[in-house]
């Protein structure tokens, strides 16, 4: 159909409608505007549409703050009224158009953690819905767990509810000790929002003389503030502005064979000798000593580096180097072991340039020198041997015992 044909058709339809209106003798202009003629041969008919509904929102309406009356405010929960009054008893209102004759009001309030929005075709209905949504939001907040907003309170909340789930008891206690010694006296229980980067930088600068502790304090603070951001208590992590250089850690050094002999001979027959032998010939960490049991030719101990509450035991064969110190014992009484602090003091009396962790380094060094299988060493040490190997490797006891027997020098 050409453009000219379309024009002629429209003209004809308009003329037919005009003729029908005259035939019906409709004189009222408004009524005439609501009649639409449909040409259908013998089924000619007239459709009548309802008169447009006039919205109370006038053309001069402007978006902006909508003030509520005292009667309307009285319907709001008391805890919300304080917040609402502080913002002038107003909420933001705007008109949204859905066509020539349809429009709606949207009332929105954002502040103090609230984000409330309600809409309706009339202002009064929108206000009613808005108040109902306020009640629902306040009820939801009251039922939610209380999140502390002060620094020390939130830090303790984080320690108890999140950090405790990821670390062993010893690591948790150590973290608490570091926090209470170096962080708590400096920041105290001020509101989280008032903790500034300058405060944190000053705290970190004061720990430069003890770089390892500075690293641990930085790590704890970073986790606490990230948690506060994720809880919505803070918008940004104030530690993000601070400068901190991770200190270069020095790895331990292995004992010489002469130093091994000197240490074990110095404490022959004393309670310190067996713990030292277990660390030297099993590669145990100091805190793992107190979980040791003797089972069928193996030393069994809890691997303290497993996180998330996972309990994993590592099994180290009783090697020819350890056997003389175990003798014919059926059990190992760990309650008789001195504390790791006492062991460290006793070690330094004989070998002042070494620390307890150096015995772990010594064990791995001697295993390598004696030709022990690398994967077996990883299993003995309780280190990760790689996700693929861990998933598909299950070393037999016979293999582990054969590898353990190589530790002889």
171 plus 194 within the same structural domain? yes
Q: Between the CA of residue 359 and those of 48, 265, 299, 347, what are the distances in Å?
A: 97, 16, 16, 10
Per the structure, the count of domains in the chain is 4
Q: Which residues of the chain have pLDDT under 70?
A: 7, 11, 14-62, 98-101, 143-145, 306-309, 384-393
**Could you read off the pLDDT of 161-185 as tens digits, one per residue?**
999 988 878 789 999 999 999 999 9
Q: Widest CA span of the chain, in angstroms?
A: 127
Q: How far apart are CA 12 and CA 389, in angstroms?
A: 85
Q: Is 211 contained in some domain?
A: yes
The one-character DSSP state at 386 is -
223 plus 299 within the same structural domain? no
Is 283 within 8 Å of 360 (Cβ atoms)? yes
Which letter, b or e, does each residue of 233-245 get, where b requires 16 or more Cβ atoms within 10 Å of its Cβ? bbeebbbeebebe
pLDDT of residue 12: 73
pLDDT of residue 389: 64
97 plus 27 within the same structural domain? no
- Give 203's contacts (C-beta < 8 A, 6+ positions apart): 182, 183, 186, 187, 217
pLDDT of residue 105: 87
Which letter, b or e, does each residue of 286-305 get, where b requires 16 or more Cβ atoms within 10 Å of its Cβ? bbbbbbbeeeeebbebbbbe
Q: Which of 366, 397, 374 is nearest to 298 (CA)?
A: 397
Q: Is 54 contained in some domain?
A: no
pLDDT of residue 283: 93
267 plus 395 within the same structural domain? yes
Which SS3 state, helix, strand or coil, does residue 113 take?
coil
**Could you read off the pLDDT of 191-238 as tens digits, one per residue?**
999 999 999 999 999 998 999 999 999 999 999 999 999 988 899 999
CATH of the domain at 382: 1.10.443.10
Name the token pair of 68: 């509520």
What residues make up the domain containing 185?
151-241
Pick from 143, 172, 203: which residue ends a domain? 143
In this prediction the pTM is 0.54
């Amino acid at each position: 159909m050409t453009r000219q044909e379309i024009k002629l058709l429209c003209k004809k339809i308009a003329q037919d409608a005009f003729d029908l209106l005259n035939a019906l003798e409709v004189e009222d202009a408004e009524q005439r505007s609501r009649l639409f003629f449909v040409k259908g041969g013998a089924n000619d008919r007239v459709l009548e549409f309802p008169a447009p509904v006039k919205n109370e929102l006038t053309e001069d309406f402007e978006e902006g703050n909508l003030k509520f009356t005292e009667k309307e405010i009285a319907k709001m929960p008391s805890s919300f009224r304080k917040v609402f009054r502080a913002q002038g008893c107003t909420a933001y209102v705007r008109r949204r158009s859905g066509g020539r004759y349809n429009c709606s009001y949207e009332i929105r309030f954002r502040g103090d953690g609230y984000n409330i929005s309600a809409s309706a075709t009339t202002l009064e209905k929108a206000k009613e819905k808005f108040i109902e949504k306020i009640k629902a939001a306040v009820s939801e907040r009251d039922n939610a767990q209380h999140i502390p907003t002060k620094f020390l309170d939130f830090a303790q909340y984080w320690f108890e509810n999140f950090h405790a789930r990821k670390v062993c008891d010893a690591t948790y206690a150590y973290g608490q000790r570091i926090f209470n010694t170096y962080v708590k006296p400096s920041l105290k229980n001020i509101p989280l929002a008032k903790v500034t980067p300058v405060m944190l930088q000053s705290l970190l600068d004061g720990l430069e003389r003890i770089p390892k502790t500075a690293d641990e304090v930085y790590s704890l603070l970073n986790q606490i503030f990230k948690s506060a951001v994720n809880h919505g208590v803070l918008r940004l992590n104030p530690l993000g502005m601070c400068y901190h250089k991770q200190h270069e850690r020095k790895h331990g050094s292995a004992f010489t064979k002469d130093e091994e002999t000197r240490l074990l001979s110095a404490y022959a027959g004393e309670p310190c000798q067996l713990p030292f032998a277990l660390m030297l010939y099993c590669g145990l960490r100091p805190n793992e000593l107190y979980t040791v049991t003797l089972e069928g030719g193996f030393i069994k101990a809890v691997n303290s580096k497993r996180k998330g509450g996972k309990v994993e035991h590592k099994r180290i064969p009783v090697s020819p180097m350890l056997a003389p110190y175990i003798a014919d014992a059926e059990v190992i009484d760990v309650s008789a072991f001195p504390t790791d602090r006492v062991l460290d003091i006793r070690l330094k009396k004989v070998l002042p340039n070494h620390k307890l962790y150096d015995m772990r380094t010594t064990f791995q060094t001697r295993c390598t020198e004696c030709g022990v299988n690398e994967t077996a060493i990883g299993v003995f040490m309780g280190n990760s041997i790689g996700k693929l190997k861990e998933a598909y490797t299950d070393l037999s006891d016979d293999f582990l015992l054969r590898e353990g027997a190589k530790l002889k020098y």
